[in-house]
Amino acid sequence: MKLTEQKLRGLIRRVVTEGCGNAPTHRTLAGQEVAFGCPDCVEDIGLRIGDASFSRDRAPRGSAERSNYNGLLAVLRKALRAALKELEAAESDNFM
């Protein structure tokens, strides 16, 4: 059986993606890909929450802009809780 270049590329792509485990990642403000739940991820999400809170507080009360920031902050806080949960799980695994 002769492998075409396209089939070979598909096979390589499948092996690489299966080997990676598709672990969730987080892109920091600096553009660096880090593992979701690592200390750098938690710190970055915290900085994003701080920036969004500052911008939200400058918007007039009852405005659409402030409402949009509140929605963004809700998403960021949810991501922070999930990242902290991952970090705690990883730390507890390391101590056992």
Q: Residues 23, 49, 31, 14: what is their CA dihedral angle, to the nearest 10 degrees?
A: 20
CB 86 within 8 A of CB 79: no
Higher pLDDT among residues 75 and 90, named by residue: 75
Q: Please tell me the predicted confidence (pLDDT) of residue 91.
A: 79
Segment 24-52 shows an average pLDDT of 94
Q: Is the pLDDT of residue 16 over 70?
A: no
Provide CB contacts within 8 A for 86, sequence distance 6+: 36, 37
- Give the pTM: 0.73
**pLDDT score, position 79:** 97
Question: What is the overall mean pLDDT for the chain?
Answer: 86
Confidence of residue 96 (pLDDT cuts 50, 70, 90): very low
Nearest to 43 by CA among 10, 62, 35: 35
The per-residue pLDDT for range 40-72, each reduced to its tens digit, is 999 999 999 999 999 999 999 999 999 999 999
- When pLDDT is cut at 50, 70 and 90, the band that residue 4 belongs to is confident
